[in-house]
Amino acid sequence: MFYSVKGILTHTQPNVAVVECGGVGFLCRTTMNTQKALPPVGQEVKLYTQLNVREDALDLFGFATQAELNCFKLLTNISGVGPKAGLAILSVLTPEQVAAAAATGDSKAFTRASGVGPKLGQRIVLELKDKVQSMQASDPQMAHLPVGVPSAAGNAEAAVNALTVLGYSASEASSAVAKLDSSLPVEELIRLALKNFGSVR
């Protein structure tokens, strides 16, 4: 319903940013990573948003980047990961780190977030890996890409896997990673690819 809000940042507090648009202040629940990217109060800001409708409330979630919003949607589609846990995860991990952890099977990375125990961390990795594997089964372009702990030579393939976890197509991910130095760490490849996506879109 709301793609984004753009206006004056009028108030912040932990995990909250209020953006005034046309005289209406929109309270957006945010991550700590988004809060670090916010300008000072009184300046213009744009947040990409997701509206969560419940019987007793309407919650608007706001993110500094589309990648973080996409990652939030992906996480909250996993059984056991609600909006609160999604915000907690994205407060300690960037979208690049989430994707890299999923691609390499690092469930412990998710347990750094408040409220995420070992079992939920393992479920997150399993479901995200399952998503990549189902993509590989339905997309011949992805059939050669490995899912698992990458070797140094497999950094590019792991980065492509991670980008597909974040919702990009195999062709988009492959094209973006192909332009980069494959000797870079997986997380850096993902970060640079996302930056390139952001400059194109």
pLDDT at 201 over 50: no
DSSP state letter for 116? -
Top pLDDT among 19 and 189 is at: 19
Fold of 67-200: DNA polymerase; domain 1 (1.10.150)
What is the C-alpha separation between 71 and 60, in angstroms, rounded?
A: 16
For 152-173, write each residue's pLDDT tens digit: 447 888 888 888 877 788 788 8
pLDDT at 150 over 50: no
pLDDT at 176 over 50: yes
Full-model pTM:
0.75
What is the C-alpha separation between 155 and 3, in angstroms, rounded?
A: 33
Check if CATH label 3.40.50.150 holds for domain 4-64.
Answer: no
Q: Residue 115: name the closest of 89, 134, 141 by CA.
A: 89
CB atoms closer than 10 angstroms to residue 171? 12
Beta bridge partners of 133: none
pLDDT at 139 over 70: no
For 9-49, write each residue's pLDDT tens digit: 999 999 999 999 989 999 999 999 999 999 999 999 999 99
pLDDT at 142 over 90: no
Structure tokens at 22: 């046309």
Residues of the chain with CATH 1.10.150.20: 67-200
